[in-house]
């Protein structure tokens, strides 16, 4: 029943010739948000899970509403829309300091196991412990 919230400042490396954020950089910021959520809220830091597991993104929908410029600080918000057996659909918004929505969308993440030779990837049910933690962010 709560949002996971982080702030991120727009850096020179994010912006393009038009002086605004190049949109693939927004998705790096989204990946950071998911990474922070797993680390800080779900107790599954990427530094641990990527030895034998992963959380690949399988579906992404984004609407870019307003440009963001260097120096601005964005508020990134994430919540759970739907939790399935081995996947979770999260909603997200990034807004600026004038409280305007910069972008909004939804992303579907799948819990997977990776074989030791990293050749095979298969989906795997979330365990009970993480299900409970994820549920805290269900709106």
Q: Minimum distance between the CB of residue 62 and its own copies, rounded to whole angstroms?
A: 5
* Cα–Cα distance for residue pair 15/79, rounded to 1 Å: 27
CB closer to its own copies out of 44 and 134:
44
CB closer to its own copies out of 12 and 98:
12
* 11 lines the binding site for its own copies (CB under 8 A): yes
Which of 61, 60, 79 lies closest to 5 in space, CA to CA?
Answer: 79
* 15 lines the binding site for its own copies (CB under 8 A): yes
Over the range 101-139, which residues count as b (16 or more CB within 10 Å of their CB) and which as e?
ebbbbebbbbbbebeeeeeeeeeeebeeebeebbeebee
* 12 lines the binding site for its own copies (CB under 8 A): yes
Tokens for 96? 């600026």
Site string for its own copies, 27-66 (x = CB under 8 A): xx--xx--x---x-----xxx--x---x-xxxxxxxxxx-
* 113 lines the binding site for its own copies (CB under 8 A): no
* 102 lines the binding site for its own copies (CB under 8 A): no
Residues at the site binding its own copies, with contacts judged by CB under 8 A: 11-13, 15-20, 22-25, 27-28, 31-32, 35, 39, 45-47, 50, 54, 56-65, 67, 69-71, 114, 116, 118, 121
């Amino acid at each position: 029943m709560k949002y996971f919230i982080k702030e991120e400042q727009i850096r020179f490396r994010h912006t393009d010739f038009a002086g605004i954020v190049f949109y693939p950089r927004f998705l790096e910021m989204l990946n950071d948000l998911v990474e922070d959520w797993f680390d800080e809220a779900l107790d599954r830091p990427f530094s641990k899970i990527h030895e034998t597991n992963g959380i690949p993104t399988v579906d992404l929908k984004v609407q870019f509403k307003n440009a963001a410029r260097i120096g601005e600080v964005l508020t990134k918000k994430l919540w759970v829309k739907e939790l399935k057996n081995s996947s979770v659909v999260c909603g997200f918004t990034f807004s600026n300091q004038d409280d305007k929505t910069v972008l909004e969308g939804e992303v579907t993440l799948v819990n997977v196991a990776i074989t030791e030779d990293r050749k095979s990837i298969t989906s795997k049910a979330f365990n009970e412990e993480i299900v409970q933690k994820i549920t805290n962010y269900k709106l």
